[in-house]
Amino acid sequence: MGPSMQINLDSRPASKVEAEALVSYVFEPEKEQGTAVQGVIADLDQAAAGALGRLASGGELTGKMLEFTLVHFAPGIGAQRLLLVGAGKSEKFGTAELRRLASAAVRYLKARSVKRIALLTRESERTAEAAQAVTEGLLLGNFDGDKYRTDKKNPPVESAALVGFDPAAQAGIARGRIIAESQNFTRELGNEPSNLLTPRLLAERAEAMAREAGLAVDILDEKRIEELKMGALMGVARGSVEPPRVIVLTYTPEKLTPGTPVLGFVGKAITFDTGGISIKPSNDMEKMKFDMAGGAAMLGAMRALARLKPPVKVIAVIPSTENMPGGRAQKPGDVQIAMSGKSIEVINTDAEGRLILSDGIAYAKQLGATHLVDAATLTGAIVVALGHFNTGVFGSDAAFTERVLASARRAGEKMWPMPLDDDYRELIKSTIADIQNVGSGRGAGAIVAAWFLREFTGDTPWVHLDIAGTAWLDDAKPWAGKGGTGVAVRTLVDLAMNFDGRSPTAK
């Protein structure tokens, strides 16, 4: 995950802070104010003898979201540069915007070889929660997926000072660091080429992380997978010479009350997806290395939870295999018997994620999970429905689903609830087996995939996150480089941290 940025607090007045760049933000002025130079910016303007006011009146500081204005050697300001970032409308500004703004500022400045920065927030944004969001933003923005490039373009920012926070903010910084470094761990796995991250290598990386973090770990090899009769997973794995793995990580709190709920995290980890015999078009197929992003998200979440110590037991089950068109590969029309005993007619071998998850879900339940969340780059259909902005959320239990959505809102990850009516169940009926792995007809692909998974959850409250549109950025954004996003890690961490021993169906 690269060298880590030092983040500390600086109690000096902002104009006296010495850094290569002091970052702050300006809002779009409301009509009666007439200028973006308000609050802490007005204080800086006073120190700089009105230089910022003159910029604003010249039309340069509009406050439009993520518009950058860089001022060099402003008089009366100790920092060599002052970076003012547009923050949009003040009434729409919250921790999610603060996180994104911190990321964008880091990326803007490191492209200009700046190493030491300071960040000045509004006085109302100096809570431990804000310090956490800023820390997450700084560390996420400092990450680049250029591991295999010999000419590294933008060296990371080395240190950041948060100006004007009181010492209580240290707890937020510590929490933000754990979460952001875990999200970056997930992003790094998503970026790995599939020749360098086979199921066995993913299991090795997971085991090393678990040992370091203090999590219990169990890696199921192909023999144990066969003994457990995970027929759906084995069906997908048949086509590859690389053997499958199931990664099981367990976090147990020190004081565990018997009978309390147990969270089960299930993540799809197809380390490369060719589609199998129902082979994909060659265009964009190289991106199918990130078809393990759901599994990587569960690993990142567990890495964070081991350090944050929630009051609830969490079990992560991550089935992993390649999906290849080998001589022994499963074929359209084959019937596989899942671990649960259900028979599945495989109509399309490229609908393989739901097959491996069905066995992952069954195993998580067998290990004692009372509430399930899965994350998977499952369907192209969710991208048609929601684009690349929102993760699709499906659930069998309204109260538990609302808890996950509330965690997403707190974590600043956009997620949107999708329907799962009984009517859709018709679409996966098979004539020769219990169910088939794709719908009859063209519509509702993401819902059909979710219904398929629901067949294996029984009465266990379950939420499915379809991250196919949100786990990867095709193009760099001001706040993030191209590649894996680490989506769902922050939401899952928030869910576990706020999931105490009380009945989780209560709001």
CA–centroid distance for 465 within its chain: 11
Strands 462-466 vs 391-395: parallel, antiparallel or unpaired: antiparallel
Burial 23-51 (b: 16+ CB within 10 A, else e): bbbbbbbeeeeebbbbebbeebbebbeeb
**Token representation of residue 487:** 């989506």
Q: How many CA atoms lie within 13 A of 325 on its CB side?
A: 11
Q: State the DSSP code for 477.
A: B
Dihedral (Cα; 255, 256, 260, 262), 10-degree rounding = 120
Give the side-chain half-sphere CA count within 13 A for 124: 6
Of 183, 380, 181, the residue nearest 291 (C-alpha): 380
Measure the CA dihedral 306/373/487/238, to 10°.
Answer: 100
CB neighbours of residue 475 within 10 Å: 8
Contacts of 442 (CB under 8 A, 6+ apart): none
Helices (DSSP H) in 214-265: which residue ranges? 222-227, 231-237
Residue with tokens 């086979």: 198
Q: Which residues are 374's β-sheet partners? A: 266, 464
- Say whether 430 sits in a helix, a strand or coil: coil
The token pair at 136 is: 């997450």
* 391 phi, psi to nearest 5 deg: -85, 140
Active site residues: 280, 354
C-alpha pair distances (Å), 300 with each of 79, 293, 305, 409: 36, 10, 9, 19
